[in-house]
Amino acid sequence: GPVTSPTLLALMPELGQRSPKTIAALAGLAPLNRDSGAFRGKRAIAGGRPRLRQALYMAAVATIRSRSRFATLYKTMTAAGKPAKVALIAIARKILVTANAVLRDKRSFQPR
């Protein structure tokens, strides 16, 4: 959108130059394991750039209220039993990875 795009470009100059996993980790949207030995703990997001993460979270909130493919994905995830916040963070990550691909390929965004 008109607010999210400039925010992404200003707060993450690496966009379009790194892998999707690296971009998600830099933004703090990559889940971190809390495992020890045979114990398998919960996954949580942490670290990264807080202002960028906040902007992506708000973009995800706005996106799921529209009729986009991201809204459909959100509804599918919540219907499958994912908690709403987990699904929302997944959408935020999906937005970031999509923006990374658009800049990497030097194409305009073409929604399906």
Q: What is the pLDDT of residue 23?
A: 95
Tens of pLDDT, residues 10-28:
999 999 999 999 999 999 9
Does 112 score more than 90 pLDDT? no
Long-range contacts of 95-99 (CB under 8 A, 24+ apart): 95/4, 95/56, 95/59, 95/60, 95/63, 95/70, 96/8, 96/23, 96/24, 96/27, 96/29, 96/56, 97/20, 97/23, 97/24, 99/5, 99/8, 99/15
Return the number of other C-beta atoms located less than 10 Å from residue 86's C-beta.
Answer: 14
- When computed from its CA atoms, the radius of gyration of the chain, rounded to whole angstroms, is 15
Tens of pLDDT, residues 55-102:
999 999 999 999 889 999 999 999 999 999 999 999 999 999 999 999
